[in-house]
Amino acid sequence: MIYRQNYATPDGFDDMVMISDGEKLTGLLFTDSEDMRKFSLPENETSLPVFDKTKEWLDEYFGGEIPSFTPDFCVSALSPFQKRVSEIMREIPYGKTMTYGEIAAEIAEERGIKKVSAQAVGGAVGANPICIIIPCHRVLGANGAITGYGGGIKNKANLLNLEKNSLQKLNLAPI
């Protein structure tokens, strides 16, 4: 069974919807995003412990803190390539970014091949159903261009600014 609950974000961001299988978080999306088309969601909201933990995480994140924990989540139906891209995204530190090309080069090196397509990486990043927690917003186009975000370019830019400003307030340099 699929469950959902809405999350009201601060000004500057679209609100979000949390999705669960009843045990773990299986989706976290901006409500007005093109990613919402990927899900068939129930109309009624449900209260679940995983939603409470996810709200706590989101409150810390949007409050300008580096979250101290990660809610239980499950990402299924990804290819091995998509899983590897997801793992690399989870390794990108708060306030730091990578380009699609850098991820492609890392995977090519791991596989001992000459090249992996940055566009293929873009497709794998776009398959991420749990935004922010799996920080696909930290993946940029060539030369640091803010592009390709299913949650909306405005949200991506605002997430990056939030992290940058939070690090400045905490007197921390990007890790």
Q: Do residues 103 and 85 make contact, with C-beta atoms less than 8 angstroms apart?
A: yes
74 is known as an active-site residue: no
Q: Give residues with Cβ within 8 angstroms of 78, minimum separation 6.
A: 86, 124, 127
How far apart are alpha carbons 139 and 136 in whole angstroms? 6
Q: Are 17 and 36 in contact (CB under 8 A)?
A: yes
To the nearest 10°, the Cα dihedral for 151, 153, 156, 157? -160
Dihedral in degrees, nearest 10, Cα atoms 41, 35, 86, 171: -110
**Of these residues, 88, 124, 136, 162, which one is catalytic?**
136
Residue (of 59, 25, 62) closest to 155 by Cα position: 62
Q: Can you read off the two tokens belonging to residue 82?
A: 């998509």
Q: Find, among 94, 2, 103, the residue nearest to 46 by Cα.
A: 2
As annotated, the active-site residues are 136
